[in-house]
Every structure is written in structure tokens, then in C-alpha cells.
Amino acid sequence: MESWSAVVLAGGIGSRLHPLTINRPKPMVPVANKPMIDYNLELLRNAGINGKIIIITKYLHQSIRDYFDKISHFDDLEIVLPKVDPLGTADAVRKASNFVDTDNFIVSMADIITNLPLNDFMAFHTEKKGIASITLKDVPHPRAFGVIMLNQDSKILLFLEKPIPQELGLATLTFSKKETIHLQSNLVNTGIYAFKHGVLDILESLNDFMDFGKDFFPYLAREYGIFGYAQQDYYWMDAGNPETYLYTNWDVLRRWAFPYFPRATSEENNIWINDAKPSLPSGSYVEPPAALGADIDIGHDTVVKSHSVVGDRVAIGNNCIIDASIIWDDVFIGDNVIMKNSIVCNDVQIETNSQLKEGTVVGPYFSSEEAIVTQKGEKLFKK
């Protein structure tokens, strides 16, 4: 098998995911009790990436370095964490270029969850013999991301960065008149790329290009030609805000990201358990699908309803209802608490008799009295 390496971009601030990212970088935010970056590394491992995996950090970079110092479940991978200070996605790869020693390499964002058939994408890149290939996916509302148009040979014709309807309509009319064009205007860039090693020389010569989407890809498409991989349907989610973060947790519990699952040492009837199964006193039960961490204490007559995730060292009181909600580590929940479609971050105390309505987000080290409630796109502090 041809040797491939990878560059994983893990420096994002995750500002849209605030307050979940107050004290941790977005790649370390847990989805179903597992950091997002783990899903990315599992994807690379399953594709047989046998060269270096270079992880580029920036925001709260030390927490990522500390994580890899502690864990052992990626010891089979050759992980490198260089000390660089990138100014954008393209600049990150430019500054890591000395570590890339294979003819082809993958670049991946560390904060997405996907079961993209990466081997198939790598074969596509090799077959097309282009300098770069981009993974694409159909989405119902592409203008939220930016649009890419392809011809029949999967060659990229156009990038539109979050276009307004008039721009999209004009581009469609322009390109539809061209011979052999098969427009696919509902495709978005999903943040996983394949490059030939020679692209690093181009990056070095264009040292004012900092971002792939805004700067470098439009240039490559115009001067060299690049290809877009949209040949298979696959699961992909950017957990970029609290609402899509909830959806991503639910999707992983539903097995939509198969073969990538919650962190667990065992699984029974679609309930993923890390360490030992918690004892359930009289009147209490857990509905699948759900994920449970270690050292959980659940009181009497408490229900953990389906699509819920409970982290490590969590105590839930008596007569509580946890409904499709995500609870991180080191959380204490009093008696008679009801929460629905809510997110509770680490080191939080939820007071007895609290009700966390749909869309409630309690940031790390806050209490239920300081919860952030998402309403119509606005974030308000609940008094």
C-alpha cells in the first residue's frame, strides 16, 4: 500500500459553540463522551494512514498536548505535535510542511464527525492525478457553507463563499451554457482534502495565502485544476453551534456515524457504558440509545431518556428526568430536576427543583441559575 501522511487542523477557537469552548478547544469538546479529535484520528487509522499524523494546534493548545500525553489508545499512530503558530488553515499546512514526507497526504479538520469512506476518496485522488482533491457533500441549505460546482469529470469549476441567491442563480446560468457541464450546485466542502506533495512548494511561493477556502483553493482551481469527491453518500456533521452539537450527539447514538461510536468499554441494547454499569435503584431506568460514563450515581425514580449522554463522575438525584440531553463530567444534579434537549458542561451544579427547558446550555463552572438559553438564534442569560 502506498504510504500516506496526514495533517490534522486542531487550532480552531469554536466561537459559535460558546460557551462549550470557554475553557477547551473545539476538537476536545466531547461527542458521546469522546473528544471530536478522536473521531478524526479513528477515521485516519481505519484508512490505513501509515505515515506521520501531524496535529496543528493553536487555541488552548496545551490542553490538546496534555491529552495526548495522557492517553494510550492512539499509540499505534505516529502522532507529531509541532510548535507552530498558524494564521489560517493553509498557513498551518505551510508551517508543517517539513513534517510531510510522503508523496500524497490528507488534510483534515479535527472538529467534524463523519464516516466518509476515506480509502475511496484517496483512490479517487490517485485516479484523477490532480494536485488536490476535496471531499464534498449534498446539503439541503448549501448557502450556509458556500457552494462548489463540478463538471462531469468531477473537476471543480467554481467556489462561492456563502453566496446570496442572486450569485448562485447567475453562476448557474453562466455555467449551464457550457458544453459537457453537469452542474451540482448543492455541494459543500466538508473539510477533508488530499494533496500531492508538490502543493507544498506552491503554498511556500504564495505566502500571503492563509486560508484554503478563501484564498488557496480558488487559485488552485484556476491555475492547476482540482477535483471534488461527491461519489458516495456518507454521514457528516459540523457541530459548530449548540444546536448542531446536540444533533451530532444524537446521530452518533443512532449509529448514523457507523462504524464510529460513543466512548465505551461495553455496549448492551444500544446503551454504551464506560467502565461499570451504574446501579439503578427502585423506579429508575435508562432508555436506549444512550451513553453513560464512569462513576455515575443515579437516585430513585429517575429516568435517563433516549438520546441522552452522561459523562464521568455525575450524580443525579431522585425523581429526575434527563431527556435527550448531554451532561459532561463532574456534574451534580439535585432532586426533582427536569431537563430536555439541554447541554450541561463540566463542573456544574444543577439546583434541586430546576427545570432546564429546550435549548438550555449551562457553561462550565456555572450553575443552573446562570444557564444560557438559546432563543431564536440569540443567547440570553436566564435570571
Of 31-35, 166-170, 254-258, the poorest mean pLDDT is in 166-170
One domain, residues 247 and 278: no
Domain boundary among 218, 242, 263: 263
- What's the pLDDT score for residue 233? 87
Residue range 6-34: mean pLDDT, rounded: 93
Distances (CA, A) of 67 to 74, 111, 228, 264, 360: 11, 15, 34, 18, 28
Band the pLDDT of 306: cuts 50, 70, 90.
very high
Higher pLDDT, 78 or 369: 78
Residue 187 has what pLDDT? Answer: 79
- Among 217, 245, 263, the domain boundary falls at 263
| pLDDT higher than threshold 90 for residue 374 | no
pLDDT of residue 55: 97
State how many domains the chain has.
2
- What is the helix (H) or strand (E) element at residue 98, kind and residue range? none
* Greater model confidence, 178 or 60: 60
Residues 6+ positions from 285 with CB-CB distance below 8 Å: 303, 304
Nearest to 259, CA basis, from 373, 372, 117: 117
Residue 22 per-residue DSSP state? S
Task: Note whether residue 105 is domain-resident.
Answer: yes
CB 92 within 8 A of CB 7: yes
Number of residues in the chain: 383
Percent of all residues in the chain with a pLDDT value above 90, rounded to a whole number:
71
pLDDT digits (tens, 9 = 90+) for 229-269: 988 889 999 898 999 999 999 999 999 999 999 999 999 99
The CATH number of the domain holding residue 37 is: 3.90.550.10
Task: Give me the amino acid identity at 5.
Answer: S
Q: Are residues 254 and 280 in the same domain?
A: no
CA distance linking residue 343 with residue 371, whole number of Å: 10
**In contact, 78 and 52? CB cutoff 8 Å:** yes
What is the rounded CA–CA span in Å between residue 80 and residue 78? 7
Long-range contacts of 280-284 (CB under 8 A, 24+ apart): none
Across the chain, what does the average pLDDT equal? Answer: 88
Question: What is the domain-level CATH number for residue 375?
Answer: 2.160.10.10
Residue 383: the pLDDT is 31
Q: How many helices (H) and strands (E) does the chain have?
A: 8, 31
Same domain, 276 and 363: yes
pLDDT at 171 over 70: no
Do 249 and 352 lie in a common domain?
Answer: no
Q: What is the predicted pLDDT for the residue at 146?
A: 59
Structural domain range at position 7: 1-115+233-263
Quick one: 321 and 356 in the same domain? yes
In this predicted model, which residue has the larger pLDDT, 205 or 152? Answer: 205
Is 350 within a domain? Answer: yes
| Inside any domain, residue 131 | no
Task: Name the band, by pLDDT with cuts 50, 70 and 90, for residue 301.
Answer: very high
pLDDT surpasses 90 at 34: yes
Mean pLDDT computed over 50-56: 95
Residue 368 pLDDT class (50, 70, 90 cuts): low
Question: CA-CA distance, 373 to 358, in Å (whole number)?
Answer: 8
Model confidence, pTM: 0.90
As a whole number, mean pLDDT of residues 162-176 equals 51
CA–CA dist 278, 281 (Å, integer): 10
Mean pLDDT of 13-38: 94
21 or 380: which carries more pLDDT confidence?
21
Task: Name the pLDDT band for 277 (thresholds 50, 70, 90).
Answer: confident
Q: What is the arithmetic mean of pLDDT over 33-61?
A: 95
Name the percent of the chain in helix, strand, coil, to the closest 5. 25, 30, 45
Give yes or no: residues 241 and 331 share one domain.
no
Residue 240 and residue 144: Cα distance in Å, rounded?
A: 12
d(CA 313, CA 163) in angstroms, rounded, equals: 46
Looking at residue 180, its pLDDT comes to: 39
Give the rounded distance of the alpha carbon of 182 from its chain centre.
30
Domain-located, residue 226: no
pLDDT band at 378 (very low <50, low <70, confident <90, very high): very low
Same structural domain, 243 and 325: no
CB atoms inside a 10 Å sphere around CB 87: 13
The pLDDT, as a whole number, for residue 162 is 56
Give pLDDT, residue 158: 76
* 377 shares its domain with 273: yes
pLDDT exceeds 60 at position 377: no
Tell me how many degrees the CA angle 81-85-86 measures, rounded to the nearest 5: 100
Task: Give pLDDT, residue 122.
Answer: 97
